[in-house]
Amino acid sequence: MKVLFIGNSHTFVHYVPLRVKEFAKQHDTDLEIAMLTHPGMGLDWHLEQSQTYLNLIYGNYDAVVLQHNAHPFPGKESLLNSGKKLIDLVPENTRVYLYMIWSEKVNPEGQEVMSEAYEELARETGSVICPVGRIWWKIHEKHPEEELYFADGEHSSVFGASLSATIIARTLLGMDYDLDSCYEDAKKLEKTDYDHRMIDLIMKDGQLDMGIPE
């Protein structure tokens, strides 16, 4: 299966696509992954980039995973407008998946607004939801000892990225979202290793930065 991920830092931080690939490998499925991301940018920004059109129209992907702005969430109309335009570019033989993101650590009540927006886009376009945001908070309640957030309270920790990848991969493979299984799978993916030359989100002199983790 060939999968394209389009999004921003909530897709590339701690390499969610690579963890999705690792999950699939653990379940005897080979994924070929590609990623188009840029910090802080939503699907509206991707609509202005030439590589978006080339990849969607000519990339021969089996699936595309879309993720919009999150913190702050720009609202339902922003997601619906840009999401529909992107989805209109997707060939019929490419399945569209929506990566429902999580709300900020200090804003749990914001999750419902985000979730409903993604669910409406799915209904109107026939896309498939990867319900990361909804399951994120359920895992947070059931396992308060696990830190899902990075130091800024917005991005994911390694465990949070692993949970996101678990839910996306389970959606791609048609699996259910049993909370205990999701938790155990995320703990396994938390140990995912990748090439030491790859940069990731780090804290440098008290500020968010991109660099090679120590």
Q: How far apart are CA 178 and CA 135, in angstroms?
A: 10
27-60 pLDDT per residue, tens: 999 999 999 999 999 999 999 999 999 999 999 9
Q: 38 to each of 52, 143, 144, 184, how far by Cα in Å? A: 12, 31, 31, 30
The total domain count for the chain is: 1
* Predicted pLDDT at 10: 97
> d(Cα 80, Cα 66) in Å, to the nearest integer?
12
CA geometry: angle 69, 71, 76, nearest 5 deg: 55
Write the CATH number for 182.
3.40.50.1110
Alpha-carbon distances, residue 156 vs 83, 99, 144, 188 (angstroms): 23, 14, 15, 16
Q: Which domain holds residue 127?
A: 2-211
Residue 214 pLDDT exceeds 90: no
User: Residue 14 above 90 pLDDT?
Assistant: yes
Report pLDDT for 31.
98
Residue 206's pLDDT band (boundaries 50, 70, 90)?
confident
- pLDDT band of 197, cuts 50, 70, 90: very high
Distance CA 150, CA 44 (A): 26
Share of the chain above pLDDT 90, in %: 97
pLDDT tens for 113-160 read 999 999 999 999 999 999 999 999 999 999 999 999 999 999 999 999
Decide: helix, strand or coil at residue 119: helix
What is the pLDDT of the chain when averaged over all its residues? Answer: 97
